[in-house]
Structure 1
Amino acid sequence: MFSRNKQPPIKSLIAEGSRIEGNVQFTDGLRIDGEVVGDVRVGPGAAGLLVISATARVEGAVHADHVIVNGQIHGPVHAASMLELQPKARIAGDVHYKTLEMHQGATICGKMFPADVVLEEKPPLKLAANNS
């Protein structure tokens, strides 16, 4: 009845109080409550859900299909299908997305790039002058 894409299950957790220095690669779903200093990305050919909770902080690039943010990211974000920014989300970096849902209070300090946007070339505007 309701057509919602089924999300992959969250199988991995970086707990609050944990700090990982280095790149993280995951499949299915990952929830970050702690801190990651390095890139976080879904494995090649895998669908991935990434949840960055209100207590989480990521310093590095983020790449996943569906990204839900309520914490801090210092680096570019690449969401292949959906980017959800909850009220406490703070992103300092460029954001690439296909679909964006942004709640009141979320902030982005960077450029926003929607995917697959084709800017059509419009003819120059000609103004009619009244020279009579």
Structure 2
Amino acid sequence: MFGDKNKSSRSVTNMVETLVGPRVVIRGDVHFSGGLYVEGRIIGKVIAEEGAPAVLTIAQKGVVEGEVHAPVVVVGGQLTGDVHASERVELGSQARVLGNIHYRIVEMAAGSTFTGRLIHAEAPVAQLVPAEPAFARAS
């Protein structure tokens, strides 16, 4: 977006190997590598092959209803479910996301909407500290 992406990331982002057309509905989990471009609807998990370069792009009229696991996730349409992106998440101006986003880098365009939690990949896991009982303080 700002021109500082490395060359290998840019080449994977522009590569589309699989297209889910605008009149296609897939019910079930989708496993992929490379580029997956969704103009239709996927109802199920979308999971990139572990360790392989992969980009999931959801077009402005595309819909994914399910959990997403991919290094790079670009949302232009609607996504309902948690996103786990090991590299980055990009939300376009028409993006509508309902779910938590686990990310390393996130870009959000003006006009995008997001309902959920942003969870940075390197953030420490919060530990609950039990409260001291009130009777223990009264001594």
Between the aligned partners of 2:123 and 2:25, the Cα distance in structure 1 is 37
- CA deviation profile, 1:83-118 (whole Å, cap 9, x unmatched): 100001001011110001100011111111011135
Match of residue 13 from structure 1: 19
Unmatched 5+ stretches in structure 1 = 120-132
Between the aligned partners of 2:5 and 2:56, the Cα distance in structure 1 is 21
Q: Report the aligned-residue RMSD.
A: 1.5
Match of residue 56 from structure 2: 50
Match of residue 6 from structure 2: 4
What is the Cα deviation at residue 3 of structure 1? Answer: 5.7
Structure having the higher helix fraction is 2
Between the aligned partners of 1:44 and 1:65, the Cα distance in structure 2 is 9
Aligned residues: 118
1:61 aligned partner, one-letter code? E
Between the aligned partners of 2:120 and 2:50, the Cα distance in structure 1 is 22
Matched, 1:80 2:82: no
- CA deviation profile, 1:53-88 (whole Å, cap 9, x unmatched): 001011100111111101001100111101100001
Between the aligned partners of 1:88 and 1:41, the Cα distance in structure 2 is 23
Q: TM-score, normalised by structure 2?
A: 0.80
Q: Percent identity?
A: 35
Structure having the higher strand fraction is 1
Match of residue 127 from structure 1: none
Match of residue 27 from structure 1: 33
Q: Which runs of 4+ in 1 moved over 3 A?
A: none
Q: Relative to structure 2, which stretch is displaced further, 12-21 or 37-46?
A: 37-46
Q: How does 1:98-117 map to 2 (within 5 A)?
A: 98-117=104-123
Between the aligned partners of 1:59 and 1:3, the Cα distance in structure 2 is 29
Unmatched 5+ stretches in structure 2 = 126-139
What is the Cα deviation at residue 5 of structure 1? Answer: 3.6
Task: Specify whether residues 55 and 46 from structure 1 end up closer, same or farther in structure 2 by C-alpha distance, changes over 3 A only.
Answer: same
